[in-house]
Amino acid sequence: MLLKDKSVVIMGAGSGVGRAASLIFARNGAKLICADVVRARVDETVALVTGEGFPAQAVTCDVSNVDQVNAAVQAAVDAYGRLDVIYNNVGISSNKAGGGPPPGFMDIDDAEYDRLADVNFRGMFYGCRAAIRQFLKQDDGEGVIVNTGSVAGMVGWGGTLYGATKAAGIQLTRGLAIEFASKGIRVNTVCPAGMITNFGQAEGATREITPELEARYGQQHPLGRPIAPEDTANAALFLASDQARNITGVALPVDGGYVAA
């Protein structure tokens, strides 16, 4: 019960890491606001969580829309009286829908720049700001932010623009961790390597998991087994919990040793 009675907002809760985190956080005692731009998906996540008997509410939220992000945080305050944790987990890829390599730098037009920067970085900025604003209003002033970055923000892999947006999130994490440490607010990033989720698919599309795909993903890093969304969610759980009470400003790879290698 690492998050017993904690009020938690999870962004991008409709799929992949966000859905895994919703289930894992709830099983650890959290009361959830599950937010996602695709309503049907987040409704499914909430049905899974409440089906296990845990409290969760769905919110439609595009993280690049400041009003919707603020409303998601307010939903936690309305439902549970405060906010303890926000997990800013949303990220989109610049790969072609359905797979394929990321576009080359010279093939990225302004619209694609806006799309990635708005969701991957502006969305994280809005989520951090809304959460900190709420934390500072609360009696103890304390709160925890976990962001999802990527190993693509730590090494030159995964596409130049995508990696740059993820590196920006890692630096936002460090800056906020230092600026708000004296208030008792902790800010950390989990940085997964490639996972088989719906990442990079067309909006709302589901990726088929095959043994061949799992073997290919496993081969991408030294430990050799595919990285599951639950692996990343478990790292986020640890960072969100009091077990990590003296950890702030870190970018924690969940990568089977990829960055180390």
Helix and strand numbers, DSSP H then E, in the chain: 8, 7
Contacts of 128 (CB under 8 A, 6+ apart): 86, 88, 145, 147, 172, 176, 187
Out of 80, 87, 126, 162, pick the active-site residue: 162
Q: Which is nearer to ligand NAD, 17 or 161 (CB)?
A: 17
**Distance in angstroms (rounded) separating the CA atoms of residues 147 and 123:** 11
Report the C-alpha dihedral over residues 172, 175, 178, 183, rounded to 10 degrees: -60
- Rounded to a whole number of angstroms, the minimum distance from the CB of residue 261 to ligand NAD is 16
**Distance in angstroms (rounded) separating the CA atoms of residues 15 and 75:** 20
Rounded to 5°, angle at Cα 61 from 55 and 65: 145
Grouping H, G, I as helix, E, B as strand and the rest as coil, residue 220 is coil
**Distance in angstroms (rounded) separating the CA atoms of residues 22 and 46:** 8
- Rounded to a whole number of angstroms, the minimum distance from the CB of residue 238 to ligand NAD is 16
> Under a CB-based contact definition with an 8 Å cutoff, are residues 39 and 58 in contact?
yes
- Rounded to a whole number of angstroms, the minimum distance from the CB of residue 37 to ligand NAD is 4
- C-alpha dihedral sign at 96, 100, 101, 103: negative
Which residues lie across from 192 on neighbouring strands? 254
Q: Which is nearer to ligand NAD, 14 or 242 (CB)?
A: 14
- Rounded to a whole number of angstroms, the minimum distance from the CB of residue 244 to ligand NAD is 19
- Rounded to a whole number of angstroms, the minimum distance from the CB of residue 223 to ligand NAD is 15
- Rounded to a whole number of angstroms, the minimum distance from the CB of residue 186 to ligand NAD is 19
Runs of H (alpha helix) within the chain: 16-27, 39-51, 66-80, 110-116, 123-137, 160-179, 211-218, 229-240
Exposure string of 199-211, with b = 16+ CB inside 10 Å and e = fewer, is bbbeeeeebeeee
Q: Which is nearer to ligand NAD, 188 or 198 (CB)?
A: 198
Q: Which is nearer to ligand NAD, 68 or 138 (CB)?
A: 68
Active site residue 162: yes
Residues that bind ligand NAD (CB under 6 A): 11-12, 14-18, 36-38, 41, 61-64, 89-92, 119, 123, 148, 150, 192, 194-195, 197-199, 229
Q: Which is nearer to ligand NAD, 141 or 238 (CB)?
A: 238
Active centre residues (catalytic): 162
